[in-house]
Amino acid sequence: MTNAINCGKIWEWTMNKAEMRLRVRDSISEETAGYWSDAELDRYIADGINSMCEVRGMEALVRIVISDDKRAPVPATPTQMTFIDQLWLYPVPGTITISEIAPVAPVSGDAWFVESTRVYSTYSGTSWTASDLPIRTDLERTVDSIEDGYIKFTSKQSGLLELVGYRLPLALTDDTTDCEIPAPFVLGVVEYAISKAASKDENKPKIEEHLANFFNIKRKWEAKRSYKRSHFVDTWMGKLG
């Protein structure tokens, strides 16, 4: 277990996949060695992570450039964003490039944003000059619909879009990979995996006990949302449903 930082708070510990699997085995009291394979328990753990993060996941921010358009693509993968909470527009004039490397052959008035450093620069015709981003606008009320892979607006928009929301935790690629869900909420994943394991030998009381524990922890995890719920969230979730 290691220390982890999440949203400015230092959490006391996290669990990697091996530690989570061991906690599951400690609870299910395996009488016959190998009755539950590591692969089985790993699947239960992965399912538990996804189930924990149906509404709240890891906080995420996705930036998109839009130019005089009434629509913008929604984030492409669950590891980018599964749940949008806020939508902001920085009305950057001219052409803007999001890149770690300066744009090739820029012209006067072009803008350049470096995501790793969050530095925004404008091109004077001879050099790049760092400056403040324009004052952002909340686009929540301009969303007309979300369909066909696009967020559609009631009027044309131009500038740098920021989508604030949640994404699924990164996959646990090996036994030493820490789960991104912070303590103590990661225990909900363990409880889910225990309930799934108990279903293999049809232990109904154990299934119900640990499933109830899972939902209790999940409710607390969802209640810890740091982003204010908005009309845009309702629109987004309504379209997904």
Span 171-227, pLDDT tens digits: 999 999 999 998 889 999 999 999 999 998 888 999 999 999 999 999 999 887 666
pLDDT of 94 over the 50 cut: yes
Nearest-5° angle of CA 139, CA 142, CA 78? 65
Distance separating alpha carbons of residues 47 and 66, to the nearest angstrom: 35
Are 106 and 142 found together in one domain? Answer: yes
Q: What is the rounded average pLDDT of the residues 234-239?
A: 51
Boundaries of domain holding 210 = 15-57+172-240
Are 148 and 236 found together in one domain? Answer: no
Phi, psi of 83 (to 5 degrees): -145, 115
On whether the pTM is more than 0.85, the answer is no
More confident residue, 44 or 231: 44
Residue ending a domain, among 111, 140, 167, is 167
The residue type found at 141 is: R
Are 203 and 234 found together in one domain? Answer: yes
Flag whether 133 is in a domain: yes
Which residue has 């990697």 as its token pair? 16
Distance separating alpha carbons of residues 188 and 93, to the nearest angstrom: 46
Tens of pLDDT, residues 43-90? 999 999 999 998 888 988 899 999 999 999 888 777 788 888 889 999
Distance separating alpha carbons of residues 128 and 241, to the nearest angstrom: 45
Are 162 and 64 found together in one domain? Answer: yes
Which residue has 């690629």 as its token pair? 173
Flag whether 161 is in a domain: yes
Contact 163, 75 (CB under 8 A): yes
Are 37 and 135 found together in one domain? Answer: no
